[in-house]
A = this chain, B = another copy of it.
Amino acid sequence: MGEFELIRTYFAAAPCAQGGEGIALGIGDDCALLAVPPGEQLAISTDTLVAGVHFADPCDPFLLGQRSLAVAVSDLAAMGANPLAFTLALTTPTVSADWLQRYAQGLNAMAQRCGVGLVGGDTTRGPLSLTVTVFGRVPAGQALTRSGAQPGDLLCVGGDLGNAAGALPLVLGQRSADAVIAQPLLAHYWSPQPQLALGLALRGKATSALDISDGLLADCGHIAKASAARLVIEWQRLPLSVALLAFLGDDGAHAAALSGGDDYVLAFTLPPGELEPLLADGWPVHVVGRVEAGSGVALLDAAGQDITPAVGGYQHFRQAP
């Protein structure tokens, strides 16, 4: 079976792969064609997951399908973009009909949930890896970037932190836990929910935003650098799930929240006046700190003491899960 048949057979169920809104031409030609309405820009992000580095191999292909798309779509959420489409570059050592079918099912389930259509890609033979490129639309000038944080802004996150990092020892089979603990952590790891609606709600309100993929400390460092400001995180304000606290204890849960990767929860800065209306509308906004003049990231304990660790965050070439 050639690459074209492969792609068509297993990924044909992707929602709106042809003729979806904004998709002028989908899979099967030299290029896909996307329509971008006047006044809007196209947001683009690329993420690669490599077997043995970003996920255990073997793993459940359905869950991998979900996760490989979700981590990429999360970047659209972080820009406040409306999701539109994606391409998939799949490299696999063998063609397993069962594997491909289940992978495609997971991918398609997440595509449906996020409202993106598969418009193209490439299928090659080689060590298992997946590169997903996602496309979204955002009104010109309204994208949420990393560079607008202002002293006086609140530093916020969109939900519990550290769950995916907490799940890692479960994913790797290094530890086990009761279902009541394991289930929510594993769900967060395998099926992160890109905060697309929150990203849209933050347009015109947040002064900066990103999705937490490298850990809160490292990612706040990205905002601090891009905004030429200092981000202060308060240890006792970190939102932590009951499951994570039960699994890792207080210190371990905080460490996972600060330096674990793969949360795919939005972190953003907000002028204080924008907070109440968002909370009143029910958005999951948790204040975890503030923006000050200066540079870098500081972590303060309940007494206001600086307890910033020397190295924080996940560096792709420094360690593997």
Q: Interface range on chain A: under 10, 10 to 19, 20 to 34, or 35 or more?
A: 35 or more
How far in angstroms is the closest Cβ of chain B from A118?
11
Chain B proximity mask over A19-61: 1 for CB below 8 Å, otherwise 0: 0000011001111111110100111111111111110000000
Asked if B129 and A126 sit within 8 Å, CB to CB, the answer is: yes
Q: Is A119 interfacial (CB-CB < 8 Å)?
A: yes
Asked if A87 and B46 sit within 8 Å, CB to CB, the answer is: yes
Q: Provide the bound-state CA to CA distance between A3 and B121, in Å.
A: 24
Contacts of A126 in B (CB 8 A): 50-53, 127, 129
Contacts of A246 in B (CB 8 A): none
Contacts of A34 in B (CB 8 A): 41-42, 44
Asked if A50 and B135 sit within 8 Å, CB to CB, the answer is: no
Most chain-B Cβ atoms within 10 A of its Cβ — which of A44, A89, A318? A44
Contacts of A295 in B (CB 8 A): none
User: A44 with B315: in contact, given A31-B136, A126-B127, A136-B31 (CB under 8 Å)?
Assistant: no
Q: Provide the bound-state CA to CA distance between A143 and B35, in Å.
A: 12
Q: Is A81 interfacial (CB-CB < 8 Å)?
A: yes
Contacts of A129 in B (CB 8 A): 91, 124, 126-127, 129
Closest to A47 in B: B122
Closest to A46 in B: B87
Chain B proximity mask over A127-138: 1 for CB below 8 Å, otherwise 0: 101010101101
Q: Is A125 interfacial (CB-CB < 8 Å)?
A: yes
User: A143 with B31: in contact, given A42-B36, A124-B48, A131-B122 (CB under 8 Å)?
Assistant: yes
Contacts of A91 in B (CB 8 A): 48, 50, 129
Q: In chain A between 68 and 96, which residues have their CB closer than 8 angstroms to a CB of chain B? A: 75-76, 78-79, 81, 87-89, 91, 95
Q: Choose among B87, B146, B226 the residue that contacts A44 (Cβ–Cβ < 8 A).
A: B87
Asked if B31 and A140 sit within 8 Å, CB to CB, the answer is: no
Asked if A121 and B31 sit within 8 Å, CB to CB, the answer is: no
Asked if A125 and B317 sit within 8 Å, CB to CB, the answer is: yes
Can you report 14 A-B residue pairs in the complex whose CB atoms are below 8 A from each other? A3-B317, A29-B147, A30-B210, A32-B43, A32-B44, A44-B119, A45-B120, A46-B88, A47-B89, A50-B124, A51-B126, A52-B126, A123-B316, A125-B316
Q: Residues on A close to B: CB < 8 A?
A: 1-4, 6, 24-25, 28-36, 38, 41-54, 75-76, 78-79, 81, 87-89, 91, 95, 119-127, 129, 131, 133, 135-136, 138, 140, 143, 145-147, 209-211, 222, 226, 315-318, 320
